[in-house]
């Protein structure tokens, strides 16, 4: 099994160029990212566990062959990520400057768009959205 902390572009679940996808009550772990939402419309439901991935839980982005649609709806899901940390978010949007493709996160996730250029990161635990102070 590959090391999830060495980037090779591995995801436990990948959704490419499609609409109407509902992921419900799943665990996506042991890869670089748990779920890859690429130019697709996806809704999460039930409990979705994305713990144990090397770079974070869910990537939302337009890939090399982007379509006109991209969204992830998290309004009716319980997200679990026991390995979330600063720079290792539960959800991240790539190649954006502001939160734009994730909906239903209000009151549920904390957003930080200052961790990496052109990336918006979403955290379950607000303290993980900020760097640990140096001692």
111-133: average pLDDT: 94
Q: What single DSSP character describes residue 6?
A: S
pTM, entire model: 0.91
| Nearest by Cα to 96 from 119, 114, 115 | 119
pLDDT on residue 31: 95
The 3 state secondary structure assigned to 45-112 is EEEEECCCCCCEEEEEECCCCCCCCCEEEEEEEEEECCCCECCECCEEEECCCCCCCEECCCCCCEEE
Name every residue whose Cβ is closer than 8 Å to that of residue 17 and which is 6 or more positions away in sequence: 38, 39, 40, 65, 67
Mean model confidence pLDDT for the chain: 91
pLDDT on residue 97: 84
Burial of 5 (0-12, 13-18, 19+ CB in 10 A): exposed
pLDDT classification of 42: cutoffs 50, 70, 90: very high
Report the distance separating Cα 54 and Cα 34, nearest Å: 9
């Amino acid at each position: 099994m590959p090391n999830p902390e060495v980037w090779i572009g591995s995801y436990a679940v990948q959704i490419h160029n499609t609409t109407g996808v509902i992921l419900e009550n799943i665990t996506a772990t042991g890869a670089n990212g748990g779920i890859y939402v690429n130019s697709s419309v996806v809704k999460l439901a039930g409990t979705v566990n994305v713990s144990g991935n090397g770079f974070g839980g869910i990537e939302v982005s337009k890939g090399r062959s982007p379509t006109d649609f991209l969204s992830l709806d998290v309004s009716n899901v319980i997200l679990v990520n026991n390995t979330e940390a600063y720079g290792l978010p539960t959800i991240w949007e790539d190649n954006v400057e502001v939160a734009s493709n994730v909906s239903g996160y209000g009151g549920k996730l904390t957003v930080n768009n200052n961790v990496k250029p052109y990336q918006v990161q979403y955290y379950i635990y607000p303290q993980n959205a900020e760097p640990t102070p140096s001692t």
